[in-house]
Amino acid sequence: MRLRNSRHSTYLCNYHFVWTTYKVKEIVDEGISEYISDVIKNICKELECELIDLKIEKNKINLIVSCPPRLAPSYMANYFKGKSARIILKKFPELREVMGGKLWSRDYLVATIGEVTDNIISEFVNSQMKKSKIVEDKEKED
């Protein structure tokens, strides 16, 4: 796992999400699994999250992502679940009948993962020092 950058922040925000199908029914087969994978990957791109790992089982999804700090974990969980359910149920309308109109359970698990080591902190401080030096050099030129 690596540090990521946005306009004004350097971050390492990795999350592990797990959610189950509605009533934990085993409905995911190989064809649906591939489609779910594509949908989740597209949602990751939309949210500007980096997909680290994705495991799709018959009755649950395990998703590990690195996301910008502006996104709250609760927002991400509900976004992944809500948007994916709408897209998947549209593609596989037979699931709507089997599942009673719902694809995912309301609950989810979210946990943070990763470690902030001394090396990561040093890397950040060094990058800030380099940026500061560049700014100082430009100010001297002006």
Residue 47 pLDDT more than 70? yes
Q: What is the mean pLDDT of residues 26-42?
A: 92
Q: What is the mean pLDDT of residues 22-35?
A: 87
Q: What is the mean pLDDT of residues 53-63?
A: 92
pLDDT of residue 5: 81
Segments making up each domain of the chain, as ranges: 4-116
Please, what is the average pLDDT of the chain? 86
Q: What is the mean pLDDT of residues 76-88?
A: 97
Q: What is the mean pLDDT of residues 79-102?
A: 92
CATH for the stretch 4-116: 3.30.70.1290
Residue 135 pLDDT more than 60? no
Res. 41 pLDDT band, cuts 50 70 90: very high
Three state DSSP letters for the chain: CCCEECCCCEECCEEEEEEEEHHHCCCCCHHHHHHHHHHHHHHHHHHCCEEEEEEECCCEEEEEEECCCCCCHHHHHHHHHHHHHHHHHHHCHHHHHHCCCCCECCCCEEEEECCCCHHHHHHHHHHHHHHHHHHHHHHHHC
Q: What is the mean pLDDT of residues 5-33?
A: 87
Residue 98 pLDDT more than 60? yes
Q: Which residue has the higher pLDDT, 79 or 134?
A: 79
Q: Which residue has the higher pLDDT, 109 or 137?
A: 109
Q: What is the mean pLDDT of residues 96-123?
A: 81
Q: What is the mean pLDDT of residues 34-59?
A: 95
